[in-house]
Amino acid sequence: MSVQEQIKRFTAPDIRARKGGEPIVMLTSYHAHTARLADKYCDVILVGDSLGMVMHGLETTVPVTLDMMILQGHAVMRGSQRALVVVDMPFGTYEASKEQAFMSAARVMKETGCGAIKMEGGARMAETIRFLVERGVPVMAHVGLTPQSINTIGSFRAQGRDETDWAPIEQDALAVTQAGAFSVVLEAIAEPLGRKITEAVAIPTIGIGASVACDGQVLVMEDMLGLTPRVPKFVKRFGDLGPGIEKAMADYAAEVRARTFPAPEHTYPMKKKG
């Protein structure tokens, strides 16, 4: 048996069972090569619709299509072996009806081989989550700041900073839990609210700008590596790759223009006769 055959990939039930245990590590990835790196350290890799902004330069995630998600989902599955791969459902592919959501999710899972999908929305999506879970689709929920709703909420602002706003967010988290989601992302909510929700729900919470008390954390890989010009307050830059990449490109351009690259060691000489 090969080493690859011996590696067991995390499943949605595995992540669900981590509630209250060792913190769940999650990052986004959209490429086989970054997935290969993340796979060594992450329990979950999210193929996030944030790819629209960090890969394609879009202003929001709204224009992202199902075909875009499936293409990058393929790449991440090829690059990973052990992490649970979760693919975001993009705007407009699941909101119309629970049947639409199932057809979109089924296509994603069949064509990428991923282990779960993620959907934004709390109580309003509970019936759809239940419908999908009953039909074999593991669902990671997402409440708090929901970027796909940017055109109705108006800005990417933190949620629940006034205690009078807590109740709907708490209800959203409870609703997706009761509907059968195996975990829930809490994005950009006040720290005490993130802590309270984590204590209240029976499934793991994955924080992104929420609380250290969450059962896990997620960040956009490009944000935490220093490749994104502007990042939210909740991002810690664990690397600063941008300047290094730019310097490498500048050095390359300079050597090409000076005709010092390629050097002899980078070229192929003729074979010696005889």
Q: Which residues participate in the annotated binding site for 3-methyl-2-oxobutanoate?
A: 49-50, 88, 118
CA distances from 235 to 46, 121, 238, 240 (A): 16, 22, 9, 13
Sign of the CA dihedral with 89 first, then 236, 213, and 14 last: positive
State the catalytic residue, choosing from 5, 59, 111, 187: 187
Annotated binding-site residue numbers for Mg(2+) = 49, 88, 120
Q: State yes or no: is 222 an active-site residue.
A: no
Point out which residues pair with 142 in neighbouring strands. Answer: 120, 185
**Amino acid present at 149:** S
Distance CA 34, CA 268 (A): 31
Annotated binding-site residue numbers = 49-50, 88, 118, 120
Phi, psi of 10 (to 5 degrees): -60, 145
* CA R_g for the chain: 21
Point out which residues pair with 208 in neighbouring strands. Answer: 187
Residues 6 or more apart whose Cβ sits within 8 Å of residue 169: 122, 143, 144, 159, 160, 189, 193, 197
Distance CA 203, CA 206 (A): 10
Residues catalogued as catalytic: 187
